[in-house]
């Protein structure tokens, strides 16, 4: 029987040892059961297996060192340079011995698996070079004496702007019964995901729904840095960018969305996207039917469906399975309006990108005038929207899109909108669709707009005075003005307690389902205020209701012991990040997306163990 070693936290330090060795039990069983083969064959199989194990042990050492660097502001905390022991599986990040000691990454009487990491080396480009050695010592039965040793050494580059341990990524889809899911990046450089496994998007090797997070499978030696999905009702895929700039994707690939040169209905083990040689991925925009990748060469490449000219490459039908450059201006570092910012918004069949110089480009479907060019004509290549970023004009600082209506925030603090308006969501005082950009009506006394958030027929606008104004569909009271109505064309004030100012706002409409329409505001007191549907308990007030029209303060976030810093909502599920770094969830949980190991809905926020920023306590 193979026993998996567990990990232990140091009682004296703030770091825990990540159990990061990936072991193929199938290979192990095959390797150890070859008792009927010839001695030479058996020796060859043993050698291959133990060398593989040593390599994976070295990878564990690299991941552990990266974890320690991240949690110490990218300063080495172990090693001879500091007159401390090397980093091993039996030490904490400072080289101090763990108690009890972990003598082997795998509990076996036949062999011992260890790693060691010496001093890291800083590079001129700001990266850090880590060198780790993995060792497997074959033990004599009965005596425990070492009879053979296998070692492997690997080097990896770690960059401070990439690895975001503890970062949680959520996605959902309301069609085809695909549900919601999440993934968290743990200290071993692996994402672990749970929830709806439809189309294989969790990257676990199958399409099963998962309650207890399982690893997103990457090739040996690859360390995950960030994950990307779509939190706007079309979460069909999940992509993971590695620390070396490669991109792997899993999920629906019927239109070539994964960009690996092929199509298939479901891909459950992530495949590598084909990126032009010499370019590395820095940002990913996920659209469900299409995927967009920004590289370090300042090019955006698109793959997937050409329907409605969605890719912006000039194609108008069919599919593209290998990423093709979007027809944006040729990058010129002397002209920031040719350099894409790391901000794209994609929903349904339209896509938009903001440029570093402040211009905005859009392409694809234009049935409601959402390209703002005065027509409803589809565009197969990017078109400049408005005059943002032109000489003497304000720059665009944010773009937001709900699938039918585009919103643009400029550097003057004004919000502009174009497109569908049947619910009054443009916020311009009427319900007529607009084919050109119009200024959203925000009271002068409210100040300048600093943030826009939108989803499915309503939008909210945060101002620098701490006010939130919203317009559009309000059937569940999601605008938070104390009433409900199907149409609100002039933005109304989200009600907050006297003296409380809004610091952040997030809205979600979740497709056409009115049971999942909400607006949440974080106050300067650290509390969370929610309005709209509470069918699944997603407002977190300890009860359920069809609608909450006057914003209610969420439980747990008392503004003293627990303060909120960020929030996401959608599919009746709410995810809140606390200032402490902990993640809380509440509401809909039909696929296990709350991360608590069950499928039971909750009405009070909790700290699910599977979402917290800590090292895993098991080895896969």
Measured between its terminal Cα atoms, the distance across the chain in Å is: 15
Mean pLDDT of the chain: 85
- State residue 231's pLDDT score: 63
Report residue 505: phi and psi, to 5°: -140, 145
**How do residues 352-364 score in pLDDT, each as one tens digit?**
999 999 999 999 9
**Alpha carbons 461 and 507: distance in angstroms, whole number:** 10
Which pLDDT band holds residue 159 (cuts at 50, 70, 90)?
A: low
- State residue 4's pLDDT score: 29
**How do residues 288-315 score in pLDDT, each as one tens digit?**
899 999 999 999 999 999 999 999 999 9
Which pLDDT band holds residue 531 (cuts at 50, 70, 90)?
A: very high
Q: State yes or no: pLDDT of 578 exceeds 50.
A: yes
Strand order in 264-272's β-sheet? 224-228, 237-242, 247-253, 264-272
Q: State yes or no: pLDDT of 388 exceeds 70.
A: yes
Q: State yes or no: pLDDT of 30 exceeds 60.
A: no
Q: What is the DSSP string of 241-275?
A: EETTS-EEEEEEETTSTT-SS--EEEEEEEEE---
Mean pLDDT lowest among 169-173, 194-198, 535-539: 169-173
Beta bridge partners of 469: 461, 493
**Alpha carbons 310 and 329: distance in angstroms, whole number:** 18
Question: Tokens 């926020």 — which residue?
Answer: 605
Which pLDDT band holds residue 156 (cuts at 50, 70, 90)?
A: confident
Mean pLDDT lowest among 16-20, 35-39, 142-146, 165-169: 16-20
**How do residues 232-244 score in pLDDT, each as one tens digit?**
556 789 999 988 8
Q: State yes or no: pLDDT of 120 exceeds 90.
A: no
State what percent of residues in the chain have pLDDT above 90: 58
Which pLDDT band holds residue 487 (cuts at 50, 70, 90)?
A: very high
Closest Cα partner for 579 from 537, 531, 539, 522? 522
**How do residues 267-289 score in pLDDT, each as one tens digit?**
999 999 999 999 999 999 998 89
Mean pLDDT lowest among 209-213, 252-256, 274-278, 462-466: 209-213
Which pLDDT band holds residue 176 (cuts at 50, 70, 90)?
A: low
Which pLDDT band holds residue 618 (cuts at 50, 70, 90)?
A: very low
- State residue 12's pLDDT score: 29
Closest Cα partner for 182 from 160, 162, 204, 206? 204
Which pLDDT band holds residue 26 (cuts at 50, 70, 90)?
A: very low
Closest Cα partner for 587 from 180, 266, 156? 180
Kindly list the structural domains of the chain, giving each domain's residue range(s) and its CATH number in brackets, ordered by start. 3-158 (no CATH), 162-327 (2.130.10.30), 442-620 (2.130.10.30)
- State residue 142's pLDDT score: 84
- State residue 141's pLDDT score: 86
- State residue 467's pLDDT score: 98
Neighbouring C-beta atoms of residue 342, cutoff 10 Å: 12
Mean pLDDT of 104-125: 81
- State residue 160's pLDDT score: 47
Query: For residue 82, how far is the Cα from the chain centroid?
Result: 36
In terms of phi and psi (left: phi > 0; alpha: psi -120 to 50; beta: otherwise), the region of 74 is left
**Alpha carbons 503 and 18: distance in angstroms, whole number:** 35
Residue 513 · residue 489 · CB < 8 Å: no
Mean pLDDT of 375-400: 97
Q: State yes or no: pLDDT of 380 exceeds 90.
A: yes
**Alpha carbons 466 and 478: distance in angstroms, whole number:** 18
- State residue 60's pLDDT score: 83
Bigger pLDDT: 302 or 513? 302
Mean pLDDT of 259-271: 95
Which pLDDT band holds residue 22 (cuts at 50, 70, 90)?
A: very low
Question: Tokens 């439809």 — which residue?
Answer: 198
- State residue 223's pLDDT score: 79
Q: State yes or no: pLDDT of 161 exceeds 70.
A: no
Q: State yes or no: pLDDT of 70 exceeds 50.
A: yes
Mean pLDDT of 586-600: 90
- State residue 29's pLDDT score: 33
- State residue 513's pLDDT score: 63
- State residue 278's pLDDT score: 94
Q: State yes or no: pLDDT of 424 exceeds 80.
A: yes
């Amino acid at each position: 029987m193979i026993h998996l070693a567990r990990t232990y936290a140091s009682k004296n330090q703030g770091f825990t040892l990540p159990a990061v060795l990936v072991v193929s039990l199938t290979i192990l069983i095959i390797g150890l059961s070859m008792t009927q083969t010839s001695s030479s064959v058996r020796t060859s199989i043993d050698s291959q297996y133990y060398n593989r194990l040593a390599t994976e042990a070295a990878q564990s050492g690299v991941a552990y060192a990266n974890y320690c660097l991240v949690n110490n502001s990218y300063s080495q905390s172990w090693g001879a340079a500091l007159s401390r022991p090397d980093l091993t599986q039996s030490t904490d990040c400072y080289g101090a011995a763990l108690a009890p000691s972990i003598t082997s990454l795998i509990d076996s009487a036949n062999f011992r698996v260890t790693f060691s990491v010496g001093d890291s080396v800083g590079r001129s480009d700001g990266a850090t070079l880590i060198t780790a050695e993995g060792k497997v010592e074959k033990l004599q039965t009965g005596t425990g004496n070492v009879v053979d040793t296998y070692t492997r050494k690997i080097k990896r580059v770690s960059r401070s702007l990439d690895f975001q341990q503890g970062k949680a990524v959520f996605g959902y889809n309301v069609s085809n019964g695909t549900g919601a899911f999440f993934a968290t990046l743990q200290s071993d450089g692996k994402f672990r995901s749970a929830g709806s496994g439809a189309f294989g998007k969790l990257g676990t090797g199958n399409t099963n729904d998962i309650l207890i997070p399982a690893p997103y499978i990457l090739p040996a030696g690859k360390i995950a840095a960030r994950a990307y999905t779509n939190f706007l009702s079309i979460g069909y895929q999940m992509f993971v960018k590695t620390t070396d700039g490669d991109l792997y994707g899993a999920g629906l690939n019927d239109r070539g969305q994964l960009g690996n040169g092929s199509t298939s209905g479901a891909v459950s083990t992530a495949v590598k996207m084909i990126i032009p040689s010499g370019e590395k991925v820095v940002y990913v925009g996920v659209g469900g039917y299409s995927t967009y990748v920004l590289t370090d060469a300042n090019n955006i490449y698109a793959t997937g469906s050409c329907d409605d000219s969605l890719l912006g490459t000039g194609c108008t039908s069919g599919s593209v399975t290998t990423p093709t450059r979007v027809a944006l201006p040729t990058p010129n570092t002397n002209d920031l309006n040719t350099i894409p910012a790391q901000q794209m918004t994609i929903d349904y069949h339209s896509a938009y990108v903001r440029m570093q110089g402040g211009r905005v480009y859009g392409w694809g479907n234009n049935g409601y005038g959402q390209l703002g060019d005065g027509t409803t004509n589809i565009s197969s290549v990017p078109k400049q929207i408005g005059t943002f970023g032109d000489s003497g004009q304000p720059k665009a600082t944010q773009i937001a899109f709900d699938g039918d209506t585009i919103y643009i925030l400029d550097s003057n603090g004004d919000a502009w909108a174009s497109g569908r308006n049947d619910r009054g969501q443009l916020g311009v005082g009427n319900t007529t669709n607009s084919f050109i950009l119009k200024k959203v009506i925000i009271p002068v006394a409210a100040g300048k707009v600093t943030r826009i958030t939108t989803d499915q027929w309503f939008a909210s606008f945060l101002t620098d005075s701490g006010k939130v104004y919203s317009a559009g569909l309000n059937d569940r009271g999601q605008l938070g003005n104390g009433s409900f109505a199907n149409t609100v064309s002039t933005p109304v004030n989200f009600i907050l307690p006297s003296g409380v100012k809004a610091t952040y706002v997030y809205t979600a409409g979740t497709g056409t389902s009115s049971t999942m329409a909400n607006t949440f505001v974080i106050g300067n007191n650290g509390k969370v205020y929610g309005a709209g549907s509470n069918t699944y308990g997603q407002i977190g007030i300890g009860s359920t209701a069809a609608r909450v029209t006057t914003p209610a303060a969420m439980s747990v976030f008392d503004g003293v012991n627990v303060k909120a810093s960020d929030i996401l909502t959608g599919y009746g599920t709410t995810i809140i990040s606390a200032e402490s770094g902990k993640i809380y969830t509440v509401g809909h949980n039909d696929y296990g997306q709350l991360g608590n190991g069950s499928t039971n809905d909750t009405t009070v926020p909790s700290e699910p163990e599977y979402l917290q920023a800590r090292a895993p306590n098991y080895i896969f």
